[in-house]
Amino acid sequence: MQTNFFRQIAKLNLSGDLQITFRQTGESNIILSILLNNEQCGDEARKTIPPLTLRGTAEELDNGFFENVSVPLQSASGLMVNMESFMKQLEEAKKQSAMEKVKSDKEKKEKEAKEKKYKDAFQKAEELEKEGNYKGAWSALPKASEYPDYAETIRKKQDEYERHFAHNLFSQKEMPSTTINQQP
């Protein structure tokens, strides 16, 4: 006798292991317990899917087995595949979130370090100013190009220091005039 039972099972295209438990109760009754288990699915919720249980005579099970198991088994298989896909996407989202957090933390630390460097340079310039070393103070100021947020403040301080040590050719002071004696 030839059967097509395994061909029918293969047509269901299930993902995972199909476990069928056969128990005969009494003379003509049979209980079938069918459990689909997909170890590839990392979600522990897959273990809460109960087995499908069928009861009937051998003739009833022969006639209605695939009509009764096809939809529930395919649904369970699809659910576990979707759960695994979801778990992979969730893990990827966690990685992305961790990478973004690391990137954000790194940017924050770099900004804080740059801010500290700016404040230290500005403080050094002010100390030199108090000592009367305006050229040194001017040189100690941070570069406006490196700190665009503070460019205006830096330029004002540079101008202030320059007034103390740079000579302006166009200043208000009069230059001494010299007269040349001309002889006829």
Tell me the pLDDT band of 174, cut-offs 50, 70 and 90.
Answer: very low
pLDDT at 172: 52
**Choice among 26-40, 101-115, 163-177 with the minimum mean pLDDT:** 163-177
Tell me the pLDDT band of 170, cut-offs 50, 70 and 90.
Answer: low
DSSP 173: S
What order of strands is seen across the sheet that includes strand 29-37? Answer: 17-25, 29-37, 52-57
Give the C-alpha separation, 86 to 42, whole Å. 10
pTM of the predicted protein model: 0.48
Give the C-alpha separation, 35 to 50, whole Å. 7
- Determine whether 9 is exposed, middle or buried from the number of CB atoms within 10 Å of its CB (0-12, 13-18, 19+): middle
Q: 3-state DSSP call for residue 155?
A: helix
Tell me the pLDDT band of 169, cut-offs 50, 70 and 90.
Answer: low
The yes-or-no verdict on residue 48 having pLDDT over 80 is: yes
pLDDT digits (tens, 9 = 90+) for 83-135: 888 888 888 888 888 778 888 888 889 889 889 998 998 899 888 888 888 88
What single letter denotes the amino acid at residue 172?
Answer: Q
pLDDT at 40: 85
Give the C-alpha separation, 166 to 142, whole Å. 19
**Choice among 18-22, 76-80, 163-167, 172-176 with the minimum mean pLDDT:** 172-176
Look-up: residue for tokens 């005969």?
24
The yes-or-no verdict on residue 19 having pLDDT over 90 is: yes
Can you tell me the mean pLDDT for 141-155? 87
The yes-or-no verdict on residue 181 having pLDDT over 70 is: no
Give the C-alpha separation, 26 to 159, whole Å. 106
Pick from 11, 161, 146: nearest CA to 74: 11
Can you tell me the mean pLDDT for 22-41? 89
